[in-house]
Amino acid sequence: DVKVTQSSRYLVKRTGEKVFLECVQDMDHENMFWYRQDPGLGLRLIYFSYDVKMKEKGDIPEGYSVSREKKERFSLILESASTNQTSMYLCASRPAGAGGLTEQFFGPGTRLTVL
């Protein structure tokens, strides 16, 4: 059974703080993703990684960075948190290959509030 875990379910931070969101998957998946989800806007891709130390920008990378030092762990970093980064953050993983016939598996999400 695939398991994707995220370090916190709820997080409250102050404007200007550096914030780390951690994601770990236990199924040896090559691909990992970070999304944010806001009402009316759906899931928007921030960054994804297809291999250790590899990363690609998604649709909304501004204000975020990522780190993937180990295959199972993908970290999202908010360099200087702002109130417009208050959101639900979802991590997902997916095996490579299979011609697009594999799903993304989601973690439970982290609801981040920036005050």
Q: Which stretch binds other proteins (CB under 8 A): 12-20, 30-38, 69-77, 79-87?
A: 30-38
Residue identified by tokens 């490579």 is 96
68 binds other proteins (CB under 8 A): no
Distances (CA, A) of 81 to 20, 64, 67, 88, 91: 10, 9, 17, 14, 18
Please give the structure tokens belonging to residue 43: 């899931």
Judged by CB under 8 A, the residue of 25, 31, 75, 87 near other proteins is: 31
Least distance (Å) between residue 53 CB and other proteins: 16
Residues 6+ apart with CB under 8 A from 11: 19, 21, 110, 111, 112, 113
φ/ψ (deg, to 5) at 83: -60, -30
Q: Which stretch binds other proteins (CB under 8 A): 12-20, 45-53, 62-70, 72-80?
A: 45-53
58 binds other proteins (CB under 8 A): yes
Secondary structure of residue 106 in the 3-state scheme: strand
Of 50 and 61, the one with the shorter C-beta distance to other proteins is 50
**Interacting residues toward other proteins by CB under 8 A:** 31, 33, 35, 40-43, 45, 48, 50, 56, 58-59, 90, 94, 96, 99-101, 103-104, 106-109
